[in-house]
Structure 1
Amino acid sequence: MLTDTLPFLPATVAPDAPAWAPHGANGLVQSLMGVAEAAALVRSGRPCCIAGDAQALRSLPPGRWIGGSIPYFMAEQGGLCSREQVFVTELPQLPPGAGDGAWVQRYTRETLSRVCTDAPAHGFSLIVLPAFSAVHEAFAQEAPDYPEMYQRPLLGWVAGLHLDDLGQALPGVMHGPDGRWLHDEAVVLHVPVSPALQAHLDIVNPFEPSSGPGIVFDAGGFSAGDCLIDGQPANLHDWLLAGGADTRLPLVADYCGAMVNVSIKALDAAAHRVDFYAPVFPGVVYRCARPLPDYVAAFERALARQQPPGTLVMSCNCILNYLHGGLEGRTLGAMRGPATFGEIAYQLLNQTLVYLTLVEA
């Protein structure tokens, strides 16, 4: 059931605002820009995803777009924080006469499991979720079991806040067609592509598991205490403290051949509990990550090994990489996009770069 939220705020762009002009690869925008320029792009009818501060997003006109709150970006000039500018990612359109192209949908916790069955048969879907919400929690724990998951490319990110605003405001997402500002729903842009192209979704994880002991949990979730460490009963909170672990480093596990991180949010001394930014799953062997002497060098090595194919459409990186890696003012090759509170490549990820390319089928 769709819910009503805050009313749409009319655009504040002047009538003589500059017209939008493409300046991305192959005419697709992947750029940080002012609100006036973003509004012109929205009015042009092009499908897009826009990241920015809540006030900036809510000043944009209605259109075929989705958005999420975050003021941290990896831009052409390097990592930066801005409350006034927004990062716009334009999505591809079908050739004339090939169909209606991309469409936007809203999902509640109860309807989110349909996200992949609703997806185009040939294309991909881009999802944005508000952090700390019920729909965020549901997706994190249940997405691997959604119908058609892993059959159709699903990427996206988790909307957040300026770190100074934590505890004072809620992350939100924007449903562009009617200007709804939502705190507990997901917005999705379903994007069909030409049969001549294939969507290719991948991740860049600079972390590797250490050779330390394996950690296994009996129950999954966003927090944990009791567990098995090297097969022996232990408390994760106490074990991390006793070993002087660097909690900026995630736990890493092999999920069917892909190294996936679970980042540590906080240590709760009173409850002897560790809180995470993504859920752990029972029966999976986790290990503490190896330290990274140089974040950027680690990303560059990982990107060089993967050699991303085709035309880059979108990427997003984690706010923890932005902070812990000192990425302000530094670039990561051609990767541009928001620095988010979580990344999505089929399932929720942490401290990972996610990107999608289009390759010739």
Structure 2
Amino acid sequence: MHLDNLGKISPKVFDGLSGSAHEQKAVVMHVHVKQGKTVDVGIVNIFEQGGGDTLTFASDGFSCTDVMVNGVKENFADYITKNDLDTKLPLVADYYGALVNISFQSVEPGAEVKFYAPVFAGIRYKHAKPISDYATLFDAQLKKNKLSGNNVLFSCNCILNYLYSGLEGHKTEPFVGPITFGEVAYQLLNQTLVYLEVHDL
């Protein structure tokens, strides 16, 4: 489904083995691990928290009207407009050691802000630090994590990375998996790449 049609038509999930399409089902990959091997699920996230305000939410969810800005309640859509926030940059929070992104789906002036992944009450979010060159930062993350194609069994990259960062025509080796509508590792994620890596015990 094209992102422009979000909310207008139902996205489909396809079973590659049978060719069947589903609107209310998920396709799950089960990995049989040989004796002497182990697997890790990791994320590549090029975004960091910016130096701006700390944002918290009163309840969990995929949308909100109000936000606490450094402890002071504001309409979130008005805050975004007033501060000229780039909604192509996600909110970033430290979830117990893992940086997790929450991407903006839509901002309705004076009303509701919708997200592609849920925000959680009590978690401190900040607007992401701007990035200059996606490809360079991505390559730096790969080197930092010492990832190689020999160990990466599967990966999926967020469609928002593809759209916002100009990935068309670029390589993201050693990752060659699909572009997806959100990734799951720990929870539903946005603007990250998720990978499954196999290691010897």
TM range (shorter): over 0.9
Following the alignment from structure 1 to structure 2, what is the Cα–Cα distance between the partners of residues 235 and 176?
A: 44
- The one of 97, 106, 115 aligned to 1:276: 115
- Select which of 167, 172, 191 maps to 1:327: 167
Q: Give the aligned residue type for 1:185.
A: K
Residues 246 and 176 of structure 1, relative CA distance in 2, 3 Å threshold: closer
Q: Could you tell me how far 1:189 is from its partner in structure 2?
A: 2.6
Q: Which has the higher contact order (CA 8 A, sep 6+)?
A: 2
CA distance in 1, matches of 2:87, 2:12: 27
Identity %: 44
**Backbone CA RMSD of aligned residues:** 1.8
Q: State whether structure 2 residue 106 is matched by structure 1 residue 295.
A: no
C-alpha distance in structure 2 between counterparts of 1:162 and 1:254, whole Å:
30
1:1-361 correspondence to structure 2 within 5 Å:
161-163=1-3, 166=6, 169-175=9-15, 179-269=19-109, 272-308=111-147, 311-361=151-201
How far did residue 162 of structure 1 move?
3.4
Structure 1 position 166, deviation (Å)? 4.7
Matched length: 200
User: Could you say what secondary structure the match of 2:123 adopts?
Assistant: coil
Matched residue type, 1:291 = P
User: Cα distance 1:163–1:229, how it changes in 2: closer, same or farther (>3 A)?
Assistant: closer
- The CA deviation string for residues 272-310 of structure 1, in whole angstroms up to 9 with x for no partner, is 221100010001000000001111111111111111265
Q: Deviations over 1:75-130 (max 9, x none)?
A: xxxxxxxxxxxxxxxxxxxxxxxxxxxxxxxxxxxxxxxxxxxxxxxxxxxxxxxx
Distance 2:18 2:44 in 1: 35
Counterpart Cα distance in 2 of 1:203 and 1:335: 12
State the SS of the aligned residue for 1:296.
Answer: helix
Pick closer, same or farther for the CA change 1:280–1:168 going to 2, 3 Å.
Answer: closer
Amino acid aligned to 1:287: K
Q: Decide whether aligned partners of structure 1 residues 359 and 221 sit closer, same or farther in structure 2, where only a CA change above 3 A counts.
A: same
* Inter-partner Cα distance in structure 2 for 1:318 and 1:345: 12
- Closer, same or farther: CA 167–293 of 1 in aligned 2, 3 Å: same
Cα separation, 1, equivalents of 2:75 and 2:190: 23
TM-score, normalised on structure 2?
A: 0.92
* Consecutive unaligned residues in structure 1, runs of 5 or more: 1-160
The alpha-carbon distance between structure 1 residues 164 and 251, as it changes in their structure 2 partners (threshold 3 A), is: closer
- Flag the 1:336–1:177 CA change in 2: closer, same or farther, 3 A: closer
Question: How far is 1:174 from its partner?
Answer: 2.9
Determine the C-alpha separation between the residues in 1 that align with 2:72 and 2:45.
29
1:317 counterpart SS class: strand
Counterpart of 2:168, as a letter, is E
Tell me the CA shift for residue 170 of structure 1.
2.3
Give the CA deviation at 1:181. 2.1
Deviation digits for residues 162-185 of structure 1, max 9, x if unmatched?
A: 346556642212345655421011
Partner amino acid, structure 1, of 2:139 = E
TM-score w.r.t. the length of structure 1 is 0.53
CA distance in 2, matches of 1:332, 1:176: 23
The residue type paired with residue 353 of structure 1 is L
Report the CA distance shift for 1:247/1:177 in structure 2 as closer, same or farther (over 3 A).
Answer: closer
TM-aligned CA distance change 1:215 to 1:331, over 3 Å: same
Whole-Å separation in 2 of the counterparts to 1:205 and 1:306: 11
Mapped partners of 1:165, 1:345: distance in 2: 26
> CA 1:297/1:355 → structure 2, altered by over 3 Å: closer, same or farther?
same
